[in-house]
Structure 1
Amino acid sequence: MDVEESPSPRYSVFIAPPLMPWRQFADWIQMNNEYPTVWGWIRKGYLPTQKLGKHTMVNVVLLTQQLKDKE
């Protein structure tokens, strides 16, 4: 296997679920040291969310669509 064909050890391929707990989302976008920032984005409505019981989930599908629409 060539070096170009081997997967990067730094990044893993991850297909996001439609909804993701907000802290897991922060880790996924590599903002795990900035949880207050991500929570602020949620409070201000910058990230689409859905409440499931007492849990706040980021709607990854809707966020992806919003980002595609802005292109």
Structure 2
Amino acid sequence: MTDKLLVNESKATVTLPIEAYNAMVQSREVSIPLVTLEKFSDLTGLTNRGREGSKHQYGVVEGLRRNGYLPTIKLGRHVMVNLFALQEELSEKDRI
């Protein structure tokens, strides 16, 4: 086990001891850049399913994704919202 960070610039990676990583996770210094549409729905309070009895089967989150307002990536069969890209997009709009 190493007690130093190992940086590989050619591969854009950083290696650190598991204890340091666990400490960062516990202190919430690490954030997850991708979330499922369902988790994004929970975090924002927007619906992900259409209302019962409605002609629309999709909710607000799915509509935002389908219309290109949410930066998403497909991993296997899962569609994930890229929170970092969304944050960048929103900060760009603030600068305009």
TM-score norm. by structure 2 comes to: 0.54
Counterpart in the other structure of 1:37: 60
Which contiguous aligned blocks of 4+ residues in structure 1 show a shift greater than 4 angstroms?
Answer: none
Amino acid at match of 1:19: L
**Distance in structure 1 (CA, Å) of the matches to 2:81 and 2:37:** 6
**Distance in structure 1 (CA, Å) of the matches to 2:73 and 2:33:** 11
1:61 maps to 2:84: yes
Distance change (3 Å), C-alpha of 1:61 and 1:48: same
Amino acid at match of 1:59: N
| Unaligned runs of at least 5 residues, structure 1 | 1-14
RMSD over aligned CA atoms reads 1.7
**Distance in structure 2 (CA, Å) of the matches to 1:46 and 1:30:** 16
**Distance in structure 2 (CA, Å) of the matches to 1:40 and 1:16:** 26
Q: Which structure's CA Rg is the greater one?
A: 2
Q: Which residues in structure 2 correspond to 1:8-23 (within 5 Å)?
A: 17-23=32-38
Q: Percent identity?
A: 40
**Distance in structure 2 (CA, Å) of the matches to 1:50 and 1:66:** 15
- How far residue 60 of structure 1 moved from its aligned partner, in angstroms, is 0.3
| Unaligned runs of at least 5 residues, structure 2 | 1-29, 49-58
**Distance in structure 1 (CA, Å) of the matches to 2:31 and 2:73:** 15
TM-score norm. by structure 1 comes to: 0.72
Deviations 1:30-68 (A, max 9, x none): 12xx21111010011000000000000000000000000
1:52 maps to 2:75: yes
CA contact (8 A) 1:19 1:58 kept: yes
